Amino acid sequence: MFRIESIIQLKEEENIEALARRHLLTLIPSLFIAMLLIVVPFFLLFPLMSWGLIGLLIFAGCIITGIIIAIRALFLWNADVLVVTNLRLVDVDQKGLLSRRVSEASYDAIQDVSWLRKGIWQTIFRMGSVSVQTAGQATNIEVVSVPHPDKLHDLINDARSFFVKESKKKSSDQPKDRRSRLRRIARLLDQVDDEVVLNIEAVLEREVKKIAMEKLFNIEEDGFDNEEDVDEDIHDIEN
């Protein structure tokens, strides 16, 4: 079965906000044909069996074809998805069992988001299309026949506004805090050889010892300074 993790790798601090797929009504034509191919042969079972081997092959072929059509339709519906995260949009366009195109757009590259509902059927079942216009070389994204396109439109715009606000906030703030840097270093260390880890560990140990020695010398110097101050006070009192 299709898994989002096999398509995209979430970035640091990235969360999936929503998955937008085509309306379930779009499955009706394919599933109806699959049902006919599976059910009808049972009503024609005796006439087909009277044909001998040819009738048996027709019976089995219809059922297998119907199952394949149903599985294919469900797979394409499940795999053709728009992934909305807090950092970007990822459009997985599944055209066939072996044909897939993945495109993405960061929120800072999006110029306009619009939605369209056209015709009586889309109005009744509240389905439509959402178009995302991007700047530069980024690919425009369009999803069709999705349920509640107005809500998807609002969700994308809200995520986009939040992303822009957070980007401005981060640009004005200080660099990443200590914990974020340590987590990033830990992730990087997991990807290198043990020899590199040992070398880094040795360097860190030397640095820690160096800092400890510097602190020790500073304490001793402060102690000497305090003793000199006490001697001067005593000398002033005696005088």
Domain extent, residue 213, equals: 179-238
Report pLDDT digits (tens) over 186-216: 877 777 788 888 888 888 888 888 887 777 6
pLDDT of residue 113: 94
205, 106: one domain: no
**Domain shared by 151 and 213, yes or no:** no
Whether residues 71 and 121 share a domain: the answer is yes
What's the pLDDT at 202? 86
Q: Tell which of 128, 145, 172 closes a domain.
A: 172
| 102 shares a domain with 73 | yes
Average pLDDT, the chain: 83
Q: How far apart are CA 104 and CA 221, in angstroms?
A: 60
> Could you tell me if 185 and 164 lie in one domain?
no
Q: Which range among 46-50, 85-89, 99-103, 173-177 shows the weakest confidence by mean pLDDT?
A: 173-177
Residues 104 and 121 in one domain: yes
| Residues 54 and 19 reside in one and the same domain | yes
pLDDT recorded at residue 40: 93
* Digit-coded pLDDT (tens) for 117-132: 999 999 999 999 999 9
What digits encode the pLDDT tens for the residues 152-180? 999 999 999 998 888 777 665 555 566 77
At 15, phi and psi to the nearest 5? Answer: -130, 145
Question: Which of 131, 146, 172 is a domain's end point?
Answer: 172
Residue 233 and residue 125 share a domain? no
- One domain for residues 167 and 189: no
Predicted local confidence at residue 1, as pLDDT: 57
pLDDT value at residue 149: 95
| Count of domains forming the chain | 2
The residue with tokens 């119907």 is 66
Residue-level pLDDT at 31? 96
Same domain, 95 and 187: no
The string of DSSP codes covering 22-80 is: --GGGGHHHHHHHHHHHHHHHHTHHHHHTTTHHHHHHHHHHHHHHHHHHHHHHHHHHHS
How much is the pLDDT for 82?
Answer: 94
